[in-house]
């Protein structure tokens, strides 16, 4: 079973690594990081001896901003790859080859899911590593700090969930439709988190409109990606995190497992 998963995982990597969007993303990110590095270096040389006028952790702060941009780009990439991963197999009728091997459908789906996640996460690590290295050169000191390290696993989970949601939608909806729907899902999650998340637990279930109940449904069923996003930003910007961890962590685990189960269930029930 492990060998089969590994073969499918490698197949996913080989397939996605040739995706033009990945090459474009690597190229664009590299250019942006290099440009930022050039600006930073020039700025640092210009201020020269006046270091006392620059905030002590200016390098770290700018790196944090750069990481927030890279986070956004990684989420975009997650959605793109998530939508494309299964859909491209369906469109070219290659899925028949996979599904007639003596394997469970879930093995095929999860190898695609994990393989796609690995590609996006490696891209994310590359951009993080490259930006940190260049910014350290610009500031002639290692600007990476422990909070940046803490944001990496959270971002890993964040892109995983976006890939999962994108894959789910791509089972039934074409690429453009999936992108549009994902934008709405992000909007609904944000609105629901803002409307419900600030309420005390005992008042959550008391809603006075159909929109209120819709927000409640979204809040209860979907992972609180808004919270993860805030957590990553907060960590990077060294801001205090005011989150209800005792509620958020179990909810996140349960809702993500729920979506994973749903993906597996829908794939099992789908006619190819």
Q: Would you say 104 or 230 has its CB closer to another protein?
A: 104
Number of residues that bind another protein (CB under 8 A): 22
Per-residue contact string for residues 168-197; x = within reach of another protein by CB under 8 A: ------------------------------
Among the listed residues 29, 21, 78, the one whose alpha carbon sits nearest the alpha carbon of residue 225? 78
Cite the DSSP H helix spans in the chain.
Answer: 2-17, 20-47, 58-91, 95-99, 105-139, 146-170, 175-196, 210-221, 225-236, 245-269
Could you tell me which residues come within 8 angstroms of residue 40 by beta carbon, excluding any fewer than 6 positions away? 59, 62, 134, 135, 138, 139
Q: Would you say 17 or 35 has its CB closer to another protein?
A: 17
List binders of another protein among 87-126 (CB under 8 A): 92-94, 96-97, 99-104
Q: How far is the CB of 69 from another protein (least distance, A)?
A: 31
Q: How far is the CB of 99 from another protein (least distance, A)?
A: 6
Per-residue contact string for residues 46-85; x = within reach of another protein by CB under 8 A: ----------------------------------------
C-alpha distances in angstroms, 94 versus 4, 97, 114, 264? Answer: 17, 6, 19, 19
Q: How far is the CB of 112 from another protein (least distance, A)?
A: 13
Lookup: tokens for 270: 């789908």
Does 271 sit near another protein (CB under 8 A)?
yes
Q: Would you say 16 or 226 has its CB closer to another protein?
A: 16
How many residues appear in the chain?
A: 272
Q: Would you say 208 or 269 has its CB closer to another protein?
A: 269
Q: Would you say 103 or 199 has its CB closer to another protein?
A: 103
* Sign of the Cα pseudo-torsion (16, 18, 21, 22, in order): positive
Q: Would you say 243 or 266 has its CB closer to another protein?
A: 266
Indicate the burial class of 145 (C-beta count within 10 angstroms; 0-12, 13-18, 19 or more): middle
Query: CA angle at residue 158 from 155 to 159, to 5 degrees?
Result: 90
Tally of CB atoms within 10 A around 64:
20
Q: Which residues would be at the binding site for another protein (CB under 8 A)?
A: 3-4, 7-8, 11, 14-15, 18, 92-94, 96-97, 99-104, 269, 271-272
């Amino acid at each position: 079973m492990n060998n089969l998963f590994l073969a499918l995982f490698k197949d996913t990597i080989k397939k996605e690594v040739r995706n033009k969007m990945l090459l474009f993303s690597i190229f664009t990110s590299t250019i942006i990081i290099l440009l930022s590095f050039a600006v930073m270096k020039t700025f640092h040389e210009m201020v020269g001896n006046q270091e006392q006028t620059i905030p002590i952790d200016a390098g770290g702060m700018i790196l944090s901003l750069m990481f927030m941009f890279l986070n956004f780009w990684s989420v975009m990439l997650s959605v793109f790859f998530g939508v494309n991963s299964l859909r491209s197999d369906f469109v070219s009728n290659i899925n028949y080859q996979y599904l007639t091997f003596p394997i469970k459908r879930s093995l095929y789906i999860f190898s695609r899911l994990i393989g796609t996640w690995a590609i996006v996460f490696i891209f994310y690590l590359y951009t993080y590593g490259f930006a940190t290295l260049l910014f350290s050169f610009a500031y002639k000191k290692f600007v990476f700090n422990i909070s940046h390290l803490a944001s990496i696993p959270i971002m890993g989970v964040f892109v995983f969930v976006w890939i999962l949601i994108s894959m789910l939608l791509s089972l039934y909806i074409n690429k453009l439709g999936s992108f549009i729907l994902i934008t709405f899902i992000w909007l609904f999650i944000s609105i629901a988190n803002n409307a419900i998340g600030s309420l005390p637990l005992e008042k959550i279930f008391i809603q006075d409109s159909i929109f209120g109940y819709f927000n409640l449904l979204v809040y209860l069923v979907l992972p609180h990606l808004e919270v993860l996003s805030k957590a990553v930003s907060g960590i990077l910007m060294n801001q205090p995190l005011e989150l209800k961890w005792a509620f958020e962590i179990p909810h996140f685990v349960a809702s993500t497992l729920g979506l994973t189960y749903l993906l597996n269930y829908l794939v099992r029930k789908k006619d190819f």
